[in-house]
Structures are given as structure tokens and as C-alpha cells.
């Protein structure tokens, strides 16, 4: 049951709080941008770094691990 959403989790993003549509983003963008804009309703979502620093730190670790894997697979070629 917990793995039902595996495919969706491959694309990082979240549902827009205004229109409810899926906003695809990248972890890098989440970490570097000060706000994101919904491509459907153009709602601007400001990223509160102090409030979400825990979540952002966790994301940064995941992203670092992912980049490490990509580097290694490149070296193996």
C-alpha cells in the first residue's frame, strides 16, 4: 500500500494549493529558488526557508545522494 505512488514520486513536485494541479519541480530548484510559480494558475508560492529548513535539508541530502549515483554511473562508462 505504501508503494502505490512510486511512479509519481519519480517526478518531484507537489499539488498547487490553489488549483490542485501537479507542479513538477526539481529538488535543486526547490533548494535554490525563493519562490515557485504554478504553470497553470500562475500562483506564486514563496518558500519559507526557516520554516521548511528541516524538509529542505532532507531534500538536499537526497539530491546529493542522487547526484553521487549519477557521477558514479558516468565514471563507469
Per CB under 5 A, does 36 bind Zn ion? Answer: no
Per CB under 5 A, does 38 bind Zn ion? Answer: yes
Question: Which of 47, 60 has the CB closer to Zn ion?
Answer: 47
Per CB under 5 A, does 40 bind Zn ion? Answer: yes
Q: Which residues contact 36 (CB under 8 A, 6 or more apart)?
A: 23, 25, 29, 30, 44, 45, 47
Per CB under 5 A, does 58 bind Zn ion? Answer: no
In contact, 9 and 44? CB cutoff 8 Å: no
Selected binder of Zn ion within 8, 14, 15, 19 (CB under 5 A): 19
Selected binder of Zn ion within 14, 15, 18, 28 (CB under 5 A): 18
In contact, 10 and 24? CB cutoff 8 Å: no
Question: Which of 31, 45 has the CB closer to Zn ion?
Answer: 45
Q: Which residues contact 58 (CB under 8 A, 6 or more apart)?
A: none
Amino acid at each position: 500500500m505504501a508503494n502505490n505512488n512510486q511512479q509519481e514520486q519519480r517526478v518531484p513536485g507537489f499539488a498547487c494549493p490553489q488549483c490542485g494541479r501537479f507542479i513538477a519541480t526539481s529538488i535543486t530548484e526547490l533548494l535554490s529558488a525563493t519562490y515557485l510559480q504554478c504553470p497553470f494558475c500562475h500562483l506564486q508560492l514563496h518558500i519559507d526557508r526557516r520554516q521548511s529548513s528541516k524538509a529542505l535539508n532532507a531534500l538536499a541530502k537526497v539530491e546529493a545522494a542522487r547526484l553521487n549515483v549519477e557521477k558514479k554511473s558516468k565514471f563507469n562508462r
